[in-house]
Structures are given as structure tokens and as C-alpha cells.
């Protein structure tokens, strides 16, 4: 039977401009391609969970506009249950303006719109899903009050709680007692700890600083350097799978979703991180956020014969 995952978070329409390099402040660069795709860290992670085989609910808000309708259709098309998504008449759907350079690296500006109005009462409205869920996956593109409420609700129901603290924002200390697995990238780990994460040694120090504050386990995603898993018992580096990166947008979302699904299925942490590392690598090989979220079949095939360095 499929595991059940609730994702509470944002849904955005991504406007993506590809260019040989990212513009410096005040600079104009000539782009090579434009794409519009469904995105938003929450919706991306929900789509990834569903494609990876979990029964998935998305809890969030979209505007009463064409963008919102398209975002919902895309979630439904991926098999995500959207019965707890609210069409908000007071705010437009969220958008993200994304620049991607020739190496697939990106810069993102998000304008929250309806995502900024996801409330604790939206979590209450989804109580049925929380009561049945094996895991909650949440990020920081919605109000922190709602994130905290979702964490507490999932913990009360005994679900596994995974937090992808993205984008980087200061978080309340009491969250350390509620979250089972923290999944920041380098910049988010730095934002949480004040330790600049530039290599494995600094990543380990940042992860240990989070453990000192009460985190049970930490997985720092390191882009081209893979991921570092740190718990009180384990310190293990997982090098990135070598792939031809076209667009790294949402690679972290694929990673967080895959980690959550495998953990909810009962996999040990190190096995779940390897699976997540493969999902993140695959997401880099396609353009766009939700279009690049891999299926279970794709991840399992990839892991059967991973590319050699």
C-alpha cells in the first residue's frame, strides 16, 4: 500500500529566463530561452511525492485566476489530492521569476501572493489528511505561523515530520522539538546557524550546531557536492551522481520529497538519502520545476545503473 504524505506549502507559476550568465546588479544580459512552468516549493514537492508513489495531499492557496487554475490542474494531473487547496479571492496566485545560467545554476525571486495567506485554519480544514498521513513535508514559502502549526499538528498525529527550511528564514526554537528531519541547502544551513557552509567540514559543523539545538537528524544538500547526513550516531557524505545539469531549479524539492517518501516507507536514513540524491540529480537533467520531478520508475532505474564519475 502506498504511504500517505501531506505537503503544506506554496504554489507558484515560474517564469524562467535562460541566459549564458546570471545578471550582476544593474546589468542586462541577453537571454536565450523563456519557459513558463508550474512551480512553488510546496507544489513541486507534492508533485514529486505523488510521482514517487505516495498518496499525496497538497494544502495551500492559489488565486482566483488563470494561473491558479493551471497550478491546480497540474497538481491533479500528477495525481495530487487538492481537496484542501483554497482558491483565495483576495490575492493573486504566487509567481517566481527565475534566471538560469549555462551551468544550470539559478537565482529566484518569489512574490508570494495567495501563498502569503495560508493560515493555521487551512491546516485544521485538512485534519482528515493529517490524521491519516505517515509524513508531513513543509517548507518556508508560507507564513511561519502556519508552518509551526502544521509541524505541531503532524507531530500530534504521530506522523514523520520533515522540514525543508527554504528559503532561508529565522525559525522559532520550539520547532527543533517537532521536526524529525531538517533538509536545508548550504545557504539555508548558514541562515539557521551563522556558519558559512563552503565545504564538507563547515557543513558538518553547521549540522552539529543544529543537533545541539535539538534537531534529531540533518541532511544538508550541497549541490554538486551531493549531500551530508548528520545524526548523533551517523556522519555520512553522499557524493552527487554525475549528470549533465541543464536546470537545477527544484532539485532540492525532488530531494526533500524523495527523502520523505522513502522514510515514510520505513527505509533507513542512509538508504533514503541515496534515493533522494538520485531524485535530485534527475531533476537537474530537465528544464522547469514540476516538469522535472522524476517518477519512481525513473529513480529506481537510475539507481540500478548510476552514471560513473
Instruction: Give catalytic residues, as residue numbers.
Output: 253
Q: Which stretch binds ligand RIB (CB under 6 A): 28-36, 120-128, 206-214, 249-257?
A: 249-257
Residue 258's nearest CA partner among 74, 51, 37 is: 51
Check residue 45 for interaction with ligand RIB (CB under 6 A). Answer: no
Check residue 289 for interaction with ligand RIB (CB under 6 A). Answer: yes
Q: Which is nearer to ligand RIB, 15 or 209 (CB)?
A: 15
Cα–Cα–Cα angle for 278, 185, 282, rounded to 5 degrees: 20
* The three three-digit cell numbers of residue 208, written as one number: 552539529
Q: Which is nearer to ligand RIB, 12 or 221 (CB)?
A: 12
- Smallest gap from Cβ 230 to ligand RIB, in A, equals 23
H/E stretch holding 162 reads: strand 160-163
- Smallest gap from Cβ 5 to ligand RIB, in A, equals 17
- Smallest gap from Cβ 40 to ligand RIB, in A, equals 5
Check residue 185 for interaction with ligand RIB (CB under 6 A). Answer: no
Contacts within 8 Å (CB) and 24+ apart, 126-133: 126/6, 126/8, 126/57, 126/59, 126/84, 127/153, 129/4, 129/6, 129/57, 129/59, 129/81, 129/84, 130/6, 130/154, 130/157, 130/159, 131/157, 132/4, 133/4, 133/5, 133/6, 133/57, 133/157, 133/159
Check residue 14 for interaction with ligand RIB (CB under 6 A). Answer: yes
Q: Which stretch binds ligand RIB (CB under 6 A): 7-15, 52-60, 129-137, 258-266?
A: 7-15
- Which residues touch 277 (CB under 8 Å, ≥6 apart)? 226, 227, 238, 240, 241, 255
Q: Which is nearer to ligand RIB, 141 or 180 (CB)?
A: 141
- Smallest gap from Cβ 38 to ligand RIB, in A, equals 8
- Smallest gap from Cβ 95 to ligand RIB, in A, equals 8
Q: Which is nearer to ligand RIB, 5 or 130 (CB)?
A: 5
Determine which residue in the list 65, 88, 141, 204 makes contact with ligand RIB, applying CB under 6 A. Answer: 141
H/E stretch holding 191 reads: helix 186-193
CB 227 within 8 A of CB 293: no
Check residue 108 for interaction with ligand RIB (CB under 6 A). Answer: yes
DSSP 8-state symbol, 113: G
Check residue 253 for interaction with ligand RIB (CB under 6 A). Answer: yes
* The three three-digit cell numbers of residue 301, written as one number: 532505474
* The three three-digit cell numbers of residue 200, written as one number: 564538507
**Site size for ligand RIB (CB under 6 A):** 16
CB 185 within 8 A of CB 221: yes
Check residue 4 for interaction with ligand RIB (CB under 6 A). Answer: no
Check residue 260 for interaction with ligand RIB (CB under 6 A). Answer: no
Residue 255's nearest CA partner among 211, 305, 203, 219 is: 219
Q: Which stretch binds ligand RIB (CB under 6 A): 33-41, 64-72, 145-153, 298-306?
A: 33-41
In which residue are the cell numbers 526554537 written? Answer: 173
The footprint of ligand RIB (CB under 6 A) covers: 10, 12, 14, 39-41, 44, 96, 108, 110, 141, 249-250, 252-253, 289
Amino acid at each position: 500500500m502506498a504511504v500517505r504524505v501531506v505537503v503544506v506549502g506554496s504554489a507558484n507559476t515560474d517564469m524562467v529566463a535562460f541566459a549564458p550568465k546570471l545578471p550582476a546588479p544593474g546589468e542586462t544580459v541577453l537571454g536565450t530561452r523563456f519557459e513558463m512552468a508550474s512551480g512553488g516549493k510546496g507544489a513541486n514537492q507534492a508533485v514529486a511525492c505523488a510521482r514517487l508513489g505516495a498518496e499525496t495531499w497538497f494544502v495551500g492557496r492559489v488565486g482566483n485566476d488563470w494561473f491558479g487554475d493551471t497550478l491546480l490542474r497540474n497538481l491533479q494531473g500528477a495525481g495530487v489530492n487538492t481537496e484542501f487547496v483554497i482558491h483565495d479571492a483576495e490575492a493573486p496566485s504566487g509567481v517566481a521569476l527565475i534566471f538560469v545560467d549555462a551551468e544550470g545554476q539559478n537565482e529566484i525571486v518569489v512574490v508570494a501572493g495567495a501563498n502569503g495567506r495560508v493560515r493555521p485554519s487551512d491546516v485544521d480544514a485538512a485534519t482528515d489528511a493529517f490524521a491519516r498521513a505517515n509524513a508531513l513535508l513543509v517548507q518556508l514559502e508560507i507564513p511561519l505561523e502556519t508552518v509551526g502549526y502544521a509541524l505541531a499538528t503532524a507531530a500530534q498525529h504521530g506522523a514523520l515530520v520533515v522540514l525543508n527550511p527554504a528559503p532561508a528564514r529565522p525559525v522559532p526554537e520550539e520547532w527543533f522539538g517537532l521536526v524529525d528531519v531538517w533538509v536545508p541547502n548550504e545557504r539555508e544551513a548558514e541562515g539557521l546557524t551563522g556558519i558559512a557552509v563552503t565545504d564538507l567540514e563547515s557543513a558538518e559543523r553547521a549540522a552539529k550546531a543544529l543537533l545541539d539545538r535539538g534537531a534529531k537528524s540533518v541532511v544538508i544538500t550541497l549541490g554538486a557536492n551531493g549531500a551530508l547526513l548528520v545524526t548523533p550516531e551517523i556522519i555520512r557524505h553522499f557524493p552527487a551522481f554525475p549528470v549533465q545539469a541543464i536546470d537545477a531549479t527544484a532539485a532540492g524539492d525532488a530531494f526533500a520529497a524523495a527523502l520523505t517518501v522513502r522514510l515514510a516507507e520505513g527505509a533507513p536514513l542512509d538508504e533514503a538519502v541515496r534515493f533522494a540524491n538520485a531524485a535530485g540529480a534527475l531533476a537537474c537533467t530537465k528544464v522547469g520545476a514540476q516538469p522535472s520531478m522524476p517518477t519512481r520508475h525513473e529513480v529506481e532505474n537510475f539507481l540500478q545503473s548510476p552514471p560513473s564519475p
